[in-house]
Structure 1
Amino acid sequence: MTGPSPTLRVTLAVLTALGLIVADHRERHLDLVRSTLSHLTYPLQVAADRPEQWFRAARERLVGQEDLRDRNSGLHRENLLLKARLQQFEALEAENARLRDLLGSSLDLGERVLIAEIMAVELAPYRQQVMVNKGTHSGVFVGQPVLDANAVMGQVIRADPFSSVVLLITDADHALPVEVNRNGLRTIAAGTGLSEDLELLYIPKNADIQVGDLLVTSGMDGRFPAGYPVARVKTVRQDPDNPFTTVIAEPTARLDRSREVLLVWNLSQTSRQQALAAEATKAGDTPP
């Protein structure tokens, strides 16, 4: 027994399909069937698409992590560079402030001055010396007064062509004639070997000297110009066994912190005018 021929089967299938298409297009009878089949096949679609989603997510995660690592590394390098530059800017700002203080101090002094930078510090016990980067090539000479932006620091004791050694006022071998700015009382400020202390010598017990008094150079030694700040009295003590009053003063110069100093030429009024005129016509700090 044989069934319909293949041609008949194809014809019937085509007619059935056409009928279903026309019926669905006009009456939408197959919407329910389509919806049911969609619900049934959705899990299969999701399962088929899941591996690709996982692969895509993993690839994006790896790319994202690598990108984040690169960005983090770049930001870390940039942060280090910015911090280094910030440190340089802070150092430059501090240096500019110090130089402004020094220049302002030199204008107030009205003397011939030269700015020098401290190169080295003497670390031996009771020795208070520094080396600066200016020497005889710049006109520096032995005995030349040295100041910072606040007060007297010391004097040059050795001058080489391109560097000089400065003996600080607190060195045990240094002594400086001073006077009390309040009343003109004269005395000698001697170094103790300690950067915080000067001792005033031969102060009578009935002398008018008080804690807080400002000491300035008296000019009696002919080396330091008169009127430069030196120290402030911090201790006045009467000792029954000592015929003199024990007076300790603290230097007003920042001996342990200054990085730039002023080398001073004490000029007469005439030579000072000549030096100022020379400054206007030539560059440099070498004195005449």
Structure 2
Amino acid sequence: MATAEDAGLDSVEDLDEEQREAVTDLLLRLADDELVLAERYTEWQVRAPTLESDISLANIAQDELGHARLWYDVVQTFGYDETDLIWERDADDFRHSTLVELPFEEGDWADAVVRNYLYDVAEDIQLRALEDSSYAPIRDRVGKVLDEEDYHLEYAESWLEHLAADDEGHEELQAALDRLYPYALTLFEPSDEDVEETIMELGLRDEELVGMRDEWHDRVSSYLESIGLAVPELDLPEQYDIHVSPDDLPEHVGRDGDHTDDWPPLLDEMTATYEELGRDYATRIMDDDE
């Protein structure tokens, strides 16, 4: 496997067409997850149970949007622009996990807390597998994202422990966990098996999806069981490659472009102002930081 030291992948000019496809696929999974989850988090503004939690989740949403921007900016070096990537992109071209597009159960703060936790443990594992990426523009951005994600995990764990301390909160957490766990597994599904093989051969990431998924399951199980929650078993067949049993996955995975019926309306909402203003290009109020 290639390594950061010997691959010499410093810019887009070092990649052939197949390699560009692999980098783009990897980055779109990261960026789309962040973008869509941030959009869902904004639904809690002025609806969270306390003013502090309202502000905190708004800050987390802002962080996730910033992380999406970091990854989309790398994709743009391959000839895309922001209109291609977000505002005029077809719904079935997005590669985010269906975990992030699901609507929150109405008024169910436990849903937001559990989703925050399941996602951020997965993101922590995914990012650490990119710290030594053979592609420099990925490697150079990981540290910034990890620094901010540490707070997201601390925030989720604080709320989990608070809610788990009484019977009603515990029941709400367990119901949310049972509902969301299968969708969280889709975070570790590939969009394309051949592309995934290229990702690993190039050393873009140093851990296969199946290994990251198993680590994620062990981490969330250990922590959630310590606060009295029951985590579904990860029932793997004796022979498997990078997939869990189809019986463990929801009907719609997302990584392959197959999304739930909740996604197109959310995308319409995200792009409504762009459409209403009749724009055909993206604008920015401020230039990017150096």
TM band (smaller chain): under 0.3
Higher RCO structure, 1 or 2 (CA under 8 Å, sep 6+): 2
TM-score, normalised to structure 2, is 0.21
Q: Look at both structures and tell me which one has the larger radius of gyration over its CA atoms.
A: 1
Identify the structure with the greater helix proportion: 2
Identify the structure with the greater strand proportion: 1
TM-score, normalised to structure 1, is 0.21
